[in-house]
Amino acid sequence: MSDTGHFTYLNKIKMKTINLFLITHLISLSSVVAQNYVNLSFTSQMQDGSYQALDSVKVMNLTRGWEETVYYPDTVLQMINSVEIAETVNNSFQVEQNIPNPFNESTEIRIQLPYDDNLTLSLYDLSGKQYAYFSKKLAYGMHKLQLRVAIPQMYILTIKTSTHTQNIKLLAKENADAFAIIYQNSIPYAQPDKTQKLNTNKEFQSNDSMQFIGYTTYHNAKKTNQIKTLQTGNNASYTFQFPMGYFIGDVFYCTDGSIEGIVCWIADTIFYAKGIYYGSYGKIISLDEPSQGLMYATINHPTYAFDSIDGRVNTSIHMALRSDTSQYLYKERIEAAKWCTDKGENWYFPAKYEMKAVFDNINILNNSLQQNKGITFRTYEDGSIYWTSTEKEGGEYAYTIYLLENKPKISYLQFYSKRYVRAMKWFNEP
C-alpha cells in the first residue's frame, strides 16, 4: 500500500472512531436528558377501595420551599431534575404497593398497563416456593386484583408483562381459606386522566423532601389527606386513601392538609368493620393544650353555664361575660374558655360529659396524639386535672375530670386555681 493509500485508510479509521464516539456520546446525553424529567402521577380511592376522582393536589417541595397545585382533570406533575441524575425510569407501566400491607387474609394490588398486554403474577415465599399464579391478556389502563393467602408469612409477588418485570414484598398477618390471585376490575377514568399533565420549571433534585395534599368531594363532603416522602429521580405514582367514615382516634385534616385534631366522638354510624364503628360526623379534640394551667373558678360569682352535654352553650355564656365587664367583673377567672375559642372558628370549651367521652377513650387518643406529634393528656401524678365548661349550681364549683387507675373520675373544684384544658370542635356537622 502506498503512503497516500495508507494515510487515507488511517483517516477513515480515525473518522469512524470519532463518529462512533460522537454517536455514543449523543445517545448517552440524550438518555440523561430523557431521564431528566420526573413525572408524579396521582390517583385516589375511598376506604372500600373504590376509585375516587381528585379535585386537586397540592405538591410541596419542602427542601426547596416551593409549591404547585394540580387541578382536575390533571393528574400528573412533570418536574425537571436539575442535577440530571440518570436513573431507571418507568414511563407508563406502574405497580403500586399492595394496600393494606401488612394485611389480614387479603390485600389489593393495582397495576397500570401502557398498552394491551399479557399480565402475569406469581406469588412466592422467601424460599422460592410458588403458591399462586395468574395470567391474562388485559387492555391498557389501571387494573385491580385481589390476593388471598392461606399462610401468614412474608411473600414476594412477581409481576411480568412482555416488557417489564417487577417484584414487591407483602406481609400477611392472618390467613384466609385458600391461596388465590383474583382479577377484580379495571378502574374507570384512570387511563384517560393519565394523559393530563402539568409542567413546572421550579427546581427539583433527587431525594428532595416532598409533601402532597390531595382534595376530593365525596357525597358533598370535602375530604383531605396527605403523603410525605423523599422523592427520587424516578417517576412515581401516589394513591391518596380517603375515609368514607371516621373512627375514634382518627386524624382529621384542615383544608390546607395540616392536622386539625383527633376524632374523639362520632355522632352517627355509617358502617361497622372488624369491631370498629365509623361515622361521617362528630367531634375532634385539639392536639395541644396550654403549657401551664388556666383559671376557671366561679366562687360566689356564678356564670350560670350549667349545660353538661354541649360545651358550645357554656362557652357562649362565658365569652359573653368576658366581653361585658358591667355584668361580670371577673373575666380573668374564665380564661380557659378564651384559650379554647382563640384556637379559631368553632372551637369551644368542652362540657362535663364531652370530656367524659374523651377520657373513656384516653388510651386510643393518647396513642394517636403521640403518633401525630400532639401533646398527650397528662397523668394524674403530673396534675392531670382538666377543667370542663360545666358549672355546678350554686356558684361555688366547676366540674373537673381526671384519670385515676385508668378510670375517668368526675369531680369539682371550689378553689380559685389553675387546671389544664383541651379545646373541642365539631367536624362535618350536618
Secondary structure of the chain in the HEC alphabet? CCHHHHHHHHHHHHHHHHHHHHHHHHHHHHHHHHCCEEEEEEEEEECCCCECCCCEEEEEECCCCEEEEEECCCCEEEEEECCCCCCCCCCCCEECCCECCCEECEEEEEEEECCCEEEEEEEEECCCCEEEEEEEEECCEEEEEEEECCCCCEEEEEEECCCCEEEEEEEEEECCCCCEEEEEEECCCHHHHHCCCEECCCCECCCEEEEEEEEEEECCEEEEEEEEEEECCCCEEEEEEECCCECCCCEEECCCCCEEEEEEEECCCCEEECCEEEECCEEEECCCCCCCCEECCCCCCCCCCCCCCCHHHHHHHHHHHHHCCCCCCCHHHHHHHHHHHCCCCCCECCCHHHHHHHHHCHHHHHHHHHHCCCCCCCCHHHCCCEEEEEEECCCCEEEEEEEECCEEEEEEECCCCEEECCCEEEECCC
Among 154, 175, 190, identify where a domain stops.
190
Tell me, yes or no, whether 74 and 222 share the same domain. yes
Q: Is residue 248 part of a domain?
A: no
Q: Which residues pair with 282 in a beta bridge?
A: 266, 427
CA distance 156 to 279: 36
Grid look-up 382518627 returns 250
Q: Is residue 273 part of a domain?
A: no
Query: What confidence tens digit (pLDDT) does each residue in 382-414 have?
Result: 668 999 999 998 878 899 999 888 788 999 887
Q: Is residue 269 part of a domain?
A: no
Tell me, yes or no, whether 205 and 76 share the same domain. yes
Tell me, yes or no, whether 79 and 219 share the same domain. yes
Whether residue 89 has pLDDT greater than 60 = no
Tell me, yes or no, whether 423 and 374 share the same domain. yes
- Average pLDDT, integer, range 309-336: 88
Q: pLDDT at position 286, please?
A: 97
Tell me, yes or no, whether 308 and 395 share the same domain. yes
Q: pLDDT at position 139, please?
A: 84
Tell me, yes or no, whether 164 and 83 share the same domain. no
Tell me, yes or no, whether 236 and 123 share the same domain. no
Tell me, yes or no, whether 186 and 202 share the same domain. no
Find the CATH number of the domain harbouring 67: 2.60.40
Least confident of 302-306, 330-334, 351-355, 364-368: 330-334
Q: Is residue 214 part of a domain?
A: yes
Q: pLDDT at position 290, please?
A: 94
Q: Is residue 270 part of a domain?
A: no
| Sign of CA pseudo-dihedral 307, 313, 317, 319 | positive
Find the CATH number of the domain harbouring 111: 2.60.40.2550
Query: For strand 154-160 and strand 117-125, is the pairing parallel, antiparallel, or unpaired?
Result: antiparallel
Q: pLDDT averaged over the chain?
A: 83
Query: What confidence tens digit (pLDDT) does each residue in 209-233 have?
Result: 999 999 998 877 778 888 989 998 8
Least confident of 70-74, 135-139, 248-252, 305-309: 70-74
CB-based burial of residue 30 (10 Å sphere; 0-12 exposed, 13-18 middle, 19+ buried)?
exposed
Q: Is residue 261 part of a domain?
A: no
Tell me, yes or no, whether 400 and 294 share the same domain. yes
Tell me, yes or no, whether 232 and 292 share the same domain. no
CA distance 227 to 372: 13
Q: pLDDT at position 361, please?
A: 94
Which structural domain, as residue segments, surrounds residue 24? Answer: 1-34
Least confident of 6-15, 66-75, 140-149, 292-301: 6-15
Residues 79 and 70 sit within 8 Å (Cβ to Cβ): no
CA distance 281 to 218: 13
**The C-alpha cell that represents 120 in the structure block:** 402475569
Tell me, yes or no, whether 162 and 186 share the same domain. yes
Q: pLDDT at position 327, please?
A: 74
**301: amino acid identity, one letter:** H
Tell me, yes or no, whether 222 and 129 share the same domain. no
Q: Is residue 262 part of a domain?
A: no
- Give how many domains the chain has, as a whole number: 4
Whether residue 149 has pLDDT greater than 90 = yes
Q: pLDDT at position 48, please?
A: 73
Q: Is residue 266 part of a domain?
A: no
Q: pLDDT at position 219, please?
A: 75
